Amino acid sequence: MAVVVVGSANLDYTVQVPRLPGPGETVLGTGLLTSHGGKGANQAVAARRAGAAVTFIGKRGADPPGEAIARRLAEEGIGTEGFLTDPAAPTGAAFIAVDPAGQNQIVVAPGANAALTADDLLACLPLLKGGRVLLAQLETPLATMREALRAGRAAGMVSILNPAPAAPVGPEIFRAVDLLVPNEQEAALLADRPVQSVAEAGVAAARLLDFGCKAVLVTLGSQGALLVRRGEARHFPAFPVEAVDATAAGDAFCGVLAAALAEGRALEEAIPFACAAGALTCTRRGAQESLPTRDAVLALMRRRAGGGLRAPA
């Protein structure tokens, strides 16, 4: 039940703000939380806490933040043989503003993440042996992600792309993807269609299928998630929670989804598991600090089991 995550690792700086700033506006915040993050590292931790064996492939600087992130991943039980060091670049950083409703704005300085090359990925190919799911994002170079997805497909793995942050990608990327997992904004950018409702998500997802991926799963925050495949669409409701910080909710969703698929669960069974994980993440502040354990996810699912939802064992 192995998951291989190829992606970014950052040091996150999070500030609570009374409202998210507009263009040219300065807003005074309260509190500063420094934590480990990066979409790739977050998703790796989420998958590991969900019970999967996880290997992380990425790049860090030869600096204290990079060393701390590597130690943290190892402490989580994640394989870090592919977490490479670049002496010429700093470890990536993310700057996050969070409003009272838990909504956020994020700016990322990629640092060493931007130096993860296709050659680096090829050198790490032995780490894919025995893997069942390959999970990638877009905080590292597109050419590297393309090679990662192709390598996963060649190794017989299920390839998942979380196209975050939103960026245009070519058809060669879509054709290497088994499951595309965008949020509303990412789906809208990729499909060049507005996405503000479940119905609009379905239209955008259908267009993305035309680009070559096998299935599209649009995450819609409080509206849940929509799975679209050729000739079928299925909506999965969200788990209502009191949200305080949405940071890493999408990463929790993707990592737990990958873990559930890696243990052999059908996609339709894995999605509620991922929805529950994303919801729980919103109830705590921070990135990796907020990612739930498998037991916590199962407990939330069982509380809603009276509605007919079966929690994984």
Q: Which residues are catalytic?
A: 251
**Alpha-carbon gap, residue 310 to 273, rounded angstroms:** 9
Contact 187, 171 (CB under 8 A): no
Query: Under a CB-based contact definition with an 8 Å cutoff, are residues 220 and 201 in contact?
Result: yes
The β-bridge relationship of strands 2-6 and 30-37 is unpaired
CA distance 266 to 90: 40
Query: Rounded to whole angstroms, how far apart are CA atoms 38 and 259?
Result: 18
DSSP string, 213-237: -SEEEEE-GGG-EEEEETTEEEEE-
The first and second tokens of residue 137, run together, are: 């994002």
Per DSSP, helices labelled H in the chain are: 39-49, 64-75, 118-123, 142-154, 171-174, 184-191, 198-210, 249-262, 267-281, 294-303
CA–CA separation, 102 and 96 (whole Å): 11
215-219 and 225-229 strand pairing:
antiparallel
User: Facing residues of 235 across strands?
Assistant: 226
Strand pairing partners for 133?
3, 158
